[in-house]
Amino acid sequence: MGGAISLLAVNFIVAQIFVAAFLIISVKSRSGRAAAWCAAGFAVASLSAICEAVLPFTPMPRLFAVGAFANVLAGFCLLRIGLGVSYSVPAKPPVLASFFIGSVIVDLFIYDLPRGTLLHAFFYQMPFFLIQAWSAAAIIRSRRRSYADGILLCMLALSALYFLVKIYAAVTAGSGATAADYLQSPFALISQALGAMLIVGTGVAMLGVMVKEVVDEARASSEIDALSGLCNRRGFSSRVAPLLRDLSDHDVGTLILADIDRFKLVNDTFGHHTGDEVIREFSHILADVMPHRAVAGRVGGEEFAIFLPRVGLADARVVANGIRSELAVKRINGLPEGVAVTASFGVSAVAAGELLDAAMRRADNSLYAAKAGGRNRVECAEPPIRVIASADYHRSGKYRPT
């Protein structure tokens, strides 16, 4: 019995460590609600260790035996809620509550059945199998497929399988004649040892998923401009890079650079608060007008960039003119009636395999031309020159531009 008691103590301590870890994440993460549910799940489930440790010494073994069962199952149900929040696959509270209450009632009915029988083991272990399988199904339904999600899915599947195997193990190894005899049975030592490993594995996998969310949130926030809500220069480059890699020889992309005209004069005349309002309104126009899959960013004080994947130069010019027209007629708080804000645009095509910096330079030259040409206008750069190997290369060793 001493070995089983020791493992119960280890399980309890490990659970408290996970409670503390999830509570820390709940404070640090914007998705802290999921971590808080997981902390509650481990806290409630850990109470079963106390109930099982008290069983051999209490005159009310039924109360503590059913309490141990209910605490573990309640903890798993709370974890299911937490996973539902994290993966946006919520469990319906009435269904979850009915499942929990029904399982506890069944456990009360089978309490007096002989221990170590298939009937008792089946009805005792089946609720644990079902809740773990239900949690694993939530990850599958979410369609999230990161390595962290895959590891957690595997751990939940192993846990579900573990409870199925326990049905056979309880009959084969023997789980004691009564609930109080459980800790003295060979089955208890095996069950607690495997349970401890699965608790640690599943808990670490859940922490991995939520720590990844914290890291992703931090990375995302570091790439977002707070004033405009668009990408900053770093975020714009990181989001455009994979789109550039996806371009084939038959695809084109287009880059639009926009600069708000005489923005310094707006700040100097009407104040920085009004200047900030101009930035926000222009950002809203970009978000409303730009096509699906386009990426927009504020890459300077009053300079913006828009990347349009698989959009030709002519269509991009239409988009730029649409943005220009929207801004010119936009009523902006802080500006007197009749005072309009305009912007100039430079548009450049982006060829497959071209670096973003090269396209930015061409678009910037066109933007400068738009400024020099009177502002509030759109200028397009010449398409990039593609260099390919000609048939003459094998004779001369030189490339021919096309």
Give catalytic residue positions.
302
- Which residues, 6 or more positions from 182, have their beta carbon under 8 angstroms from its beta carbon? 52, 55, 115, 175, 176, 188
What DSSP letter does each residue of 193-236 carry, written as one string? HHHHHHHHHHHHHHHHHHHHHHHHHHHHHHTB-TTTSSB-HHHH
Query: How is residue 126 written in tokens?
Result: 């089946």
Longest Cα–Cα distance of the chain, Å, equals 99
Query: How is residue 214 written in tokens?
Result: 């914290």
Separation between Cα atoms, residue 235 and residue 239, nearest integer Å: 6
Half-sphere exposure of residue 73: CA atoms within 13 angstroms, side-chain side: 25
- Which residues, 6 or more positions from 238, have their beta carbon under 8 angstroms from its beta carbon? 223
Separation between Cα atoms, residue 256 and residue 360, nearest integer Å: 9
Name residue, tokens 């977002």.
224
